[in-house]
Structure 1
């Protein structure tokens, strides 16, 4: 009887922990919409877009995020009563910001009104973030925010975020999102703010310092496309057979790949990061050149992409991590958004001379292939394969089993 009561007590402790599943939506990027309508070439020339531009890893630079390529969006709320925003859930940055209602008018649908929130606290410290294709600036504030909306939400009081009052033209001219929520480490954050999820854990709102990202396969209709589970391993969507990969640097989610291989190309070792805010896979010029050649891809100036046949017999993109080979299949690195027979190769080249900077950016094609279990308490990453069965809505079961797995590991 005593042992039974002890088991019940342990289970009750686990059940009380906050485990939330945050649904992710897929939206066709502004770039793809314009490419299909024949407007992208003229537009890209006007803004001098260069997808092979270097990703900058200096202070206050968050890298090659082109707003016209973003596709995965999640809902958050700020304030009391809550104001809802569609934001990029970005593991490649650490700051949280949304557009203020005093910013210049543009196509951004939702803006934050501090006067409408009873929990707003002024914190007028200036901030500025420069991305690869735009920048924004404003002042800080504190308020209650929530991951998700409605009953399935994780509310985090006293969260520091940015109210963007000045945005570059690239950001105000698109309509896919209202801001960015960074899921990187505090050392990456402008003004050294505590990122919202780490703030949630510091307040005891998560049982474990972990979140699981599951991205669904792209489709041609906007809609559900995966989820992020906060506080547990998503056992409904991810297999249990995986090994932890230690981070080589806890700023980005950065680790070491001993070898990268595609057809005849082989190279390494490399420092790499995974990044939900990057739609393609980026790598060194020599590697990407070899990949494009192996795909028989040709540059299409209308789409500003390298295009190839969707039905070709192409190799997997293989990465050796901790002695294990992780393979990205053509289903995930070829984008079939066009006529059904021609696909875009989801690769881009970039160069960085900084010794600590990553040489590869493993964006959405890699993340669609593997679940990403981010353990920011132990600075490690788990990369199990996705289960064939789609993720269910049994949040209780997912949270319970996931919390138990974290205890066992």
Structure 2
């Protein structure tokens, strides 16, 4: 999840058979398409990093088909900086050029670095003059995340991902970014939340596909890998799979438990029903907006109301509030294995001790991955990021708007820390093409996009993701 118009990116940081980004299913095979995720060589987290992660999240949350063919595709994703952020690949233009982009369910805009961006670093950049189908809309674009800002101009072009192609998709060609916002090889961000919070006020890529009937199933799903506790981590690692138009049955077991989004769709909200620490129930706000949680692949950690976070750590002997640059976090004995379980109205889903332990800061003390997030206003009370999502198979359903979780399969779990080559961006065969409509958000939501709080991968620059 950064801050501004709607705040899209999120808060603060495969097995070889799965490593092929942007590969599309052949026209004869209607199965889903998956995208692998990659990760960056781990840096030791500092208190400064923690504050940037926390503050970024606080800042962030403040069409018609041309030819339609129900299908499914996948994108292999990359795990960057020891689970700090996850990115996949897409292609823009005619001829198509591939770009690595953060996958962020906490925001709703697509943007990539433009050739005129001098602060974007050594990343792939968009040269709109080389695309025969690009159209400059001459509309300004600006967005703020917890970790910085991006600005540029809106345009339209063909955008391809996971075997799907959308004509006239609106996105931003970014010419200005806050220093450090982009972390090579990432060139931009793909917002996967709802049109109502899009800073561009245009329908997101995923929603165009889902609403057009291009998908075999009106869902998109994620499996994310864990490297935070792995030895010999590389800067980029296989990150899992992003599936558009379906689910990958080899990556989960049992049923997918769906819970409806409790409000008019903006973020992918869920209502936290209960939470426990090592089997002990914790008192947390329940019912109404105080229990709303945004499910955000663009945020590295988990943020919640200070009273609830205090109650979580009260269950851990010898824990204490962090001080100095660790203010807003808690420390606890590294020797204590902590399992936090969360229910959103159905089964309880456990966060492993490996994911709960964010950083060791002394010979005996560690920092927990749950932190205080008191933003007020219309922002969700909780932001549930990758600390939680690495432990479940996650499905986002278009209609009815809902989020589903399932238990990871042994195949998926075996990918954690397994190493191997990170996926490389490729341009696959298109199996389904639709045409995007324009200004959908203005017509549907009265021209006023909802504000976001913290965008996906932009906090990656700080070692954590808060978009």
TM-score range, shorter chain: 0.7 to 0.9
* Aligned equivalent of 1:248, options 249, 262, 272: 262
Question: Is 1:129 equivalent to 2:143 in the alignment?
Answer: yes
Contact 2:359 2:368 in 1 (8 A): no
Q: 1:193 to 1:337 in 2, by over 3 A?
A: farther
1:309 to partner: Cα distance: 4.4
Shift of residue 228 of structure 1? 0.8
Q: Which moved more, 1:96-105 or 1:194-203?
A: 194-203
User: Which of residues 285, 304, 309 is equivalent to 1:268?
Assistant: 285
- Alignment partner of 1:312 is 2:329: no
Paired residue secondary structure (1:118): coil
Per the TM alignment, residue 122 of structure 1 is displaced from its structure 2 partner at its CA by: 1.6
1:255-278 Cα distance to aligned partner (Å, 9 max, x none): 211223334632131111110010
Contact 1:27 1:176 in 2 (8 A): no
Q: What is the aligned length?
A: 355
Contact 1:89 1:180 in 2 (8 A): yes
Q: Deviation at 1:203?
A: 4.3
* Equivalent in the alignment of 1:163: 173
Gapped regions of structure 1 (runs ≥ 5): 1-13, 59-66, 394-409
| Residues 107/18 of structure 1: CA separation in 2 closer, same or farther (3 Å cut) | same
Q: Is the 8 A contact 1:70 1:277 kept in 2?
A: no
CA 1:359 to 1:108, structure 2 compared with 1: closer, same or farther past 3 Å? farther
Question: 1:382 and 2:392 equivalent?
Answer: no
How far apart are the structure 2 equivalents of 1:273 and 1:280?
Answer: 12
Partner of 1:407: none
**Is 1:373 matched up with 2:390?**
no
RMSD value over aligned CA atoms? 3.2
Name the CA shift for 1:244/1:141 in 2 (closer, same or farther; >3 Å): same
* Equivalent residue in structure 2 for 1:291, among 281, 290, 312: 312
The structural deviation recorded for 1:352 is 2.4
Contact 1:23–1:224, Cα closer than 8 Å, also in 2 = yes
Q: CA deviation at 1:378?
A: 1.4
Contact 1:55/1:350 (CA < 8 Å) preserved in 2?
Answer: no
Alignment partners' CA distance in 2, 1:178 and 1:246: 33
Match of 2:351 in 1: 328
Q: Structure 2 length normalisation: TM-score?
A: 0.68
* Equivalent residue in structure 1 for 2:226, among 217, 222, 229: 217
Query: Which protein, 1 or 2, shows the higher relative CO under an 8 Å CA cutoff with sep ≥ 6?
Result: 2
Question: 2:107 maps to what in 1?
Answer: 93
1:229-248 aligned within 5 A: 229-248=243-262
